């Protein structure tokens, strides 16, 4: 089950907690997709009307997003969508260069036949959604892919380390990369297919190629430099 399982089990215990999870998911998606822009004020009153959540669940969701660093809470001033900080984005990518290969290799080695089938279906689905540029669905599929990879790794410590890193990486990918260049997609799909086909080395190489491509893109966008 890992780190996420614990809090979910706890949240399902009463209705209010699961309301706060719903609010969290909805707000996270709005931030990831850029519907809530960096530095935008997060107004509880407004969200209560537009999203239909109560004050307490919303407040809890905002606290969780602050922990994910997607929201900045300024005492006496309120909550804001965290700005996209180029240094943090590049640091995240550098960290993923070390961590993703470990996860991907383990997943390729340990997946059960059923999980491999699921991964192939997810790769197919990802390809389809990218072709349609359906970002809302792509965000959901991406979360399912990450969760599945972590589940396959059966490593609660790796899960506890990676979950917040992925939570923070998603916004840059879906909000800034937007219509990702084809090389990024190709590597991502190669990664999933190689995990599914039990090719740990190739899956690792695809993960590194994916992150290198993303990093060079990030440098171009964030620092205004020319991509390597």
CB of 118 to other proteins, least distance (A): 22
Identify which of residues 141 and 222 has a Cβ nearer to other proteins in the complex: 222
Strand arrangement of the beta sheet that strand 71-74 belongs to: 41-42, 78-81, 71-74
* Residue 59 C-beta: closest distance to other proteins, Å: 11
CA neighbours within 13 Å on the CB side: how many for 78? 9
> Is the Cβ of residue 169 or residue 194 nearer to other proteins in the bound state?
169
Least Å distance between CB 51 and other proteins? 22
CB of 166 to other proteins, least distance (A): 12
Helix/strand/coil (H/E/C) assignment for every residue in the chain = CHHHHHHHHHHCCCHHHHHHHHHHHHHHHHHHCCCCCCCCEECHHHHHHHHCCCHHHHHHHHHHHHHCCCEEEECCCEEEECCCCHHHHHHHHHHHHHHHHHHHHHHHHHCCHHHHHHHHHHHHHHHHHHHHCCHHHHHHHHHHHHHHHHHHHCCHHHHHHHHHHHHHHHHHHHHHHCCCCHHHHHHHHHHHHHHHCCCHHHHHHHHHHHHHHHHHHHHHHHHCCCCC
Nearer to other proteins among residue 48 and residue 160 (C-beta)? 160
Interface ranges with other proteins (CB under 8 A): 3, 6-7, 9-10, 63, 66-69, 72-75, 82, 88, 91-92, 94-95, 98-99, 101-102, 106, 154-158, 160-161, 164-165, 168
Shortest Cβ distance from residue 172 to other proteins (Å)? 13
In terms of CB distance, is 33 or 168 closer to other proteins? 168
- In angstroms, give the least distance from the CB of 165 to other proteins: 7
Q: Nearer to other proteins by C-beta: 5 or 227? A: 5
**Both tokens of residue 118?**
């699921």
Give whichever of 26 and 168 is closer to other proteins, judged by the CB atom.
168
């Amino acid at each position: 089950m890992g780190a996420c399982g614990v809090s979910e089990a706890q949240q399902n215990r009463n209705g209010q907690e699961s309301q706060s999870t719903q609010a969290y998911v909805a707000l996270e998606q709005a931030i990831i997709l850029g519907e809530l822009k960096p530095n935008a004020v997060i107004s509880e009153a407004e969200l209560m009307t537009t999203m239909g959540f109560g004050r307490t669940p919303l407040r809890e969701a905002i606290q969780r997003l602050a922990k994910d660093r997607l929201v900045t809470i300024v005492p006496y001033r309120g909550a804001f969508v965290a700005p996209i900080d180029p240094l943090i984005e590049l640091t995240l990518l550098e960290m993923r260069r070390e961590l993703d290969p470990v996860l991907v290799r383990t997943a390729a080695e340990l997946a059960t036949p059923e999980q491999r089938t699921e991964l192939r279906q997810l790769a197919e689905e990802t390809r389809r959604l990218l072709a349609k540029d359906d970002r809302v669905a792509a965000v959901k599929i991406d979360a399912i892919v990450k969760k599945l990879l972590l589940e396959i790794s059966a490593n609660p410590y790796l899960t506890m380390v990676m979950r917040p890193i992925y939570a923070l990486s998603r916004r840059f990918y879906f909000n800034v990369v937007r219509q990702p260049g084809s090389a990024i997609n190709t590597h991502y799909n190669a990664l999933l297919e190689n995990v599914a086909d039990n090719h740990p080395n190739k899956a690792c190489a695809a993960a590194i190629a994916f992150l290198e491509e993303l990093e060079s893109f990030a440098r171009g966008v964030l620092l205004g430099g020319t991509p390597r």
